[in-house]
Structure 1
Amino acid sequence: MAPGQVHMAAPVCLIENMPDGKLVVNREAAELLAGICQPVVVVAIVGLYRTGKSYLMNRLAGKRKGFCLGTTVQALTKGIWMWCLPHPYRSDLSLVLLDTEGLGDVQKGNTQNDSWIFALAILLSSTLVYNSIGIIDQNALENLHYVTELTKKIKAKASSGEDTEEENSAKFIRFFPDFIWALRDFTLQLEIDGHPITEDGYLEEALRLQEGDTQQIQKFNMPKSCIRKFFPSRKCFTFDRPANGKKLHKLEHLEEDDLEEGFLEPVGRFCQHIWETSRLKTVPGGQVVTGRMLEKLLKIYVDAINSGDVPCLENAVLALSEIENAAAVHEAISCYEELMGKQLVLPTDTVDELLAVHAECEKEANAVFMARAFGIMQVKKFQEDLELQLKQKKEELFERNKQVSFDRCNDVLVELYQKLEDGVHMGIYSAPGGYQCYLKKWNEMVEEYCSVPQKGIQADKALEEFQKSKETVAKSLLQMDRALTAQEKQLEAQRAQAEAAQLQLMLLEQKQAQLEQMLEDEKRSHHEQLQLLWEKMEKEKKMFEEERERAILLKLKEHKLLLKEGFQRMAREMEREIQHLKEEKNSFPWEQALSIVRDLIPVVLSLKMHSGSTPKRSKK
Structure 2
Amino acid sequence: MACGGLMSAPVCLIENDENGKLCVRKQAKDILDGIKEPVVVVSVVGLYRTGKSYLMNRLAGQQSGFALGGTIESKTKGIWMWCVPHPNKEGHTLVLLDTEGLGDVDKGDEKHDTWIFCLAVLLSSTLVYNSLGVIDNMALEKLHYVTELTENIRVKAEGSRDEDESADFMRVFPSFVWAVRDFTLELTMGGDPITSDQYLESALKLKPGNSSQAERFNLPRRCLRHFFAVRKCFVFPRPASTQNMRKMEELTEKDLDSEFLEQANTFCHYIYDNADPKIVCGGRTITGSALGNLAEVYVESIRSGKVPCLENAVVSLSKIQNDRAVEQALESYMTEMLSKAQLPMDPADLSNIHTVAEKKAIEGFITMSFNDNDQIYQKELMRKIQNEYQDMCLQNHQASHMQCEAVLLEVFDTLEKGISDGLYLKPGGYRQYRDMLAQLAEEYKAKTKSQIMCEEVLSLHLKAKEEVGNMILRSDECLSAAEQEKEVQRLKNEILEQQQRGLEEQNRLQAQVFKDMQRSHKEHVDQIIHQMEREQERMRRDNEQVLKAKLREKHALLQQGFDQQASRLQRQIDCLKSEMQEEQKSKPSKVSRILDGVSATAELIVPSFVPKFVSAISKLFK
Q: TM bucket by the smaller chain?
A: 0.7 to 0.9
**How far off its partner does 1:305 sit?**
1.8
Residues 203 and 510 of structure 1: is their aligned pair in 2 closer, same or farther, counting only changes over 3 Å?
closer
1:214 aligns with 2:211: yes
1:590-614: CA deviation from partner (whole Å, max 9, x where unpaired): 3311234568999999xxx999899
Q: Is the 8 A contact 2:36 2:368 kept in 1?
A: no
Task: Indicate the residue corresponding to 1:579 in structure 2.
Answer: 574
Q: Distance in 1 between matches of 2:289 and 2:502?
A: 52
The one-letter code matched in structure 2 to 1:377 is: N
Q: 1:161 is aligned with what amino acid?
A: G
Matches within 5 A, 1:494-513: 496-497=491-492, 499-513=494-508
The question of whether the paired residues in 2 share the 8 Å contact of 1:37 and 1:291 is answered with yes
> CA 1:604–1:283 in 2, change beyond 3 Å: closer, same or farther?
closer
Name the structure 2 match of 1:75. 74
- Counterpart selection for 1:444 from 429, 439, 444: 439
- Deviation per CA, 1:125-182: give whole Å up to 9, x if none: 1221212233333332222111111112222123x2152451x211110121111222
Does the alignment pair 1:560 with 2:559? no
Query: TM-score if structure 1 supplies the norm length?
Result: 0.86
Contact residue 6 and residue 36 of structure 1 kept, 8 A = no
Task: Confirm whether residue 531 of structure 1 aligns to residue 531 of structure 2.
Answer: no
For 2:92 and 2:436, the matched residues in 1 are separated by: 72
- Structure 2 counterpart of 1:401, from 382, 396, 403: 396
- Aligned residue in 2 for 1:11: 10
What letter is aligned with 1:550? Q
Measure, in 2, the Cα distance between the counterparts of 1:103 and 1:594. 47
Q: 1:594 to 1:494 in 2, by over 3 A?
A: same
Which residue among 155, 164, 169 is the counterpart of 2:166?
A: 169
- The verdict on how the C-alpha distance between 1:186 and 1:591 changes in structure 2, with shifts beyond 3 A counting, is same
CA RMSD of aligned residues (A): 3.7
Distance 1:578 1:400, change over 3 A: same
Query: So what's the TM-score if we normalise by structure 2?
Result: 0.85
Q: For structure 1, which segment, 592-601 or 65-74, has the greater mean C-alpha deviation from structure 2 after superposition? A: 592-601
Structure 2 residue aligned with 1:250: 247
Q: What SS does the corresponding residue of 1:135 show, helix, strand or coil?
A: coil
Describe how 1:205-604 pairs up with structure 2 within 5 A: 205-256=202-253, 258-260=255-257, 263-341=260-338, 344=341, 346-348=343-345, 352=348, 354-356=350-352, 358-359=354-355, 361-370=357-366, 372-373=368-369, 375=371, 377=373, 380-478=375-473, 480-481=475-476, 496-497=491-492, 499-585=494-580, 586=582, 589-597=586-594
Per-residue CA shift, 1:76-123, capped at 9, x if unaligned? Answer: 211011222333445544332211111122222222111110011111
Cα deviation for residue 368 of structure 1 reads 4.6
The structural deviation recorded for 1:43 is 1.9
Distance 1:171 1:498 in 2: 77
Report if aligned partners of 2:458, 2:498 keep a CA contact under 8 Å in 1. no
Opposite residue 373 of structure 2, the aligned amino acid is M
User: Partners in 2 of 1:184 and 1:169 — Cα distance?
Assistant: 29
Instruction: Tell me how far apart the structure 2 counterparts of residues 511 and 251 of structure 1 sit (CA, whole Å).
Output: 75
Q: Distance in 2 between matches of 1:51 and 1:364?
A: 46
* Partner of residue 130, structure 1: 129
Seen in structure 2, the aligned counterparts of structure 1 residues 386 and 564 have a Cα distance that, compared at 3 Å, is: same
SS of residue in 2 equivalent to 1:280: coil
Structure 1 residues 394 and 37: CA distance shift in structure 2, 3 A: closer
8 Å CA contact 1:410–1:466 kept in 2: the answer is: no
- Contact 1:46/1:130, CA 8 A, preserved across alignment: yes
C-alpha deviations, 1:340-378, integer Å up to 9, x for none? 4565554446x5555455445544544454455554615
SS state at 2:83 partner: strand
Identity %: 44
Structure 1 counterpart SS, 2:295: helix
> Does the C-alpha gap of structure 1 residues 12 and 245 become closer, same or farther in structure 2, counting only changes over 3 Å?
same
Distance 1:489 1:121 in 2: 94
Task: Note if contact 2:12-2:79 (Cα within 8 Å) is conserved in structure 1.
Answer: yes
More deviation, 199-208/119-128: 199-208
CA contact (8 A) 1:336 1:364 kept: yes
Residue in 2 that maps onto 1:22: 21
For the residues of structure 1 that align with 2:128 and 2:87, how far apart are their CA atoms? Answer: 19
- Aligned equivalents of 2:274, 2:289: Cα separation in 1: 23
Residue 563 of structure 1: how far off its partner (Å):
1.4
Identify the range of structure 1 (259-268 vs 409-418) with the bigger mean alpha-carbon deviation: 259-268
Q: Any residues of structure 2 matched to 1:42-191 within 5 Å, and which?
A: 42-90=41-89, 92-158=91-157, 160-161=158-159, 163-166=161-164, 168-191=165-188
Mind listing any 5+ residue stretches in structure 2 that lack a counterpart?
615-622
Q: Which amino acid aligns with 1:203?
A: L
3-state DSSP class of the match of 1:179? strand
Alignment partners' CA distance in 1, 2:91 and 2:477 = 86
Separation in 1, partners of 2:295, 2:431:
83
CA contact (8 A) 1:2 1:92 kept: no
Structure 1: distance between partners of 2:191 and 2:508: 90
Matched letter for residue 120 of structure 2: A
1:209 counterpart letter in structure 2: L
Aligned mates of 2:16, 2:598 — CA distance in 1:
53
The one-letter code of the counterpart of 1:220 is F
SS of 1:421 mapped into structure 2:
helix
Task: Report the Cα offset of residue 21 of structure 1.
Answer: 3.2
Matched residue type, 1:185: D
Query: Would you say the 8 A contact 2:343–2:396 is kept in 1?
Result: yes
Tell me, what secondary structure is at the counterpart of 1:430? coil
Closer, same or farther: CA 526–226 of 1 in aligned 2, 3 Å: same
Q: Secondary structure at the match of 2:13?
A: strand
SS in 1 for 2:574: helix
- What is the letter of the counterpart of residue 205 of structure 2? R
Q: Please state whether the residue corresponding to 1:97 is helix, strand or coil.
A: strand
Deviation at 1:282, TM superposition (A): 2.5
Show CA shifts across 1:522-569 (max 9, x none).
234323433333333223222221221122112221221111111122
AA at the equivalent of 1:224: R
CA-CA distance at 1:397 after TM superposition = 3.1
* Residues 1:332 and 1:441: Cα distance change in structure 2 (over 3 Å): same
Contact 2:455 2:505 in 1 (8 A): no
Deviation of 1:234 (Å): 1.5
- 2: CA distance, partners of 1:28 / 1:254: 31
Q: Secondary structure at the match of 1:131?
A: strand
**Structure 1 pair 20–569 and aligned structure 2 pair: CA distance change class (3 A):** farther
Q: Which deviates the most, 593-602 or 205-214?
A: 593-602
